[in-house]
Amino acid sequence: MALVSYLFALLLFFPPEVFAQTPTEDPHAHRLHHEHHDASHRMDADGTVMNENTDQLPRDCPSLSGEQSITVHAGKKYATAFNGTMFSFDQREWNIPPCSKVTVTLINEDQVRHQWMVHGLPRYLHPEGMFHLEVNGGRRKTGTFIVPSAKKTYLVHCDIAQHMEKGMKAQLKVGGGDGDLPSIPGVTSPRQADVYSVQSSAWVLGVALVSGVVGAVLVGRLTVRESRKGFDTRDLQKAKVLLDKLS
């Protein structure tokens, strides 16, 4: 009863506006929405495009030098020519003029997801300096970005777990690039080559020789034993026939 009286007194002496809860605006809400818009993130059943840029020039480009279109096929069959790889692109190097608008179409010929991701782009245009296409199995996706004017070699790869390690990487050269990246299948040599042939040595040859001799001896003994068994069996059969005739 005392609690009810206390609440009634509060309602009597304070206006209703005091108890009204006015929602406060999140100061970061507008910024987060703005960033999401700038990221140009598109996603549908075919895949995802992240950090697309179709019209904002890099600061060092006074104008567009032109437009370039790249069609990239991704799949296991493009890795068969390279030992130790499982996935690859049909092309693993592209040369692009500076300040070009580049439109990339990624066609996924496998039944697992693949990506075409380029690193090192200006962060004021691309969050984390990255442009990213991700395509579901058997689908295709197209996205656009604009390269700066500086001569540079950009890493392109698939960021799905173990896909780059298994061969899905390439390089994009702007203005001829500033060198080559290592371990691009069919383009540059690996930092540390994988060895698949048997390394011959005196020890390995000795083991092989002993194994061959032991195997030959065992096979010979088994052959002799089987031949003796056959001889003994034939003798017994002849003796039985002779006894039957005599009886």
Locate 106 and state its tokens: 């990624």
In a domain, 227, yes or no: no
- pLDDT at site 34: 35
Backbone angles phi, psi at 211, to 5 degrees: -60, -40
Whole-number pLDDT of residue 93: 98
On whether residue 48 sits in a domain, the answer given is: yes
In this prediction the pTM is: 0.63
Q: How many domains does the chain have?
A: 1
Digit-by-digit pLDDT tens for the chain (247 residues) are: 555 555 555 555 555 554 444 444 444 433 333 333 345 789 999 999 999 999 999 999 999 999 999 999 999 999 999 988 999 999 999 999 999 999 999 999 999 999 999 999 999 999 999 999 999 999 999 999 999 999 999 999 999 999 999 999 999 999 999 999 999 999 998 776 666 565 667 777 777 788 878 777 777 777 666 666 655 556 656 656 665 665 5
Domain carrying residue 60: 37-174
Asked whether residue 228 is domain-assigned, the answer is no
Structure-block tokens of residue 146: 């604009």
* 240 belongs to a structural domain: no
Do the beta carbons of residue 6 and residue 14 sit within 8 Å?
A: no
Structural domain contains residue 111: yes
CATH number, position 122: 2.60.40.420
pLDDT at 12: 53
Per-residue pLDDT, 190:
77
In a domain? residue 145: yes
Determine the Cα–Cα distance for residues 6 and 43; give it in Å rounded to an integer: 56
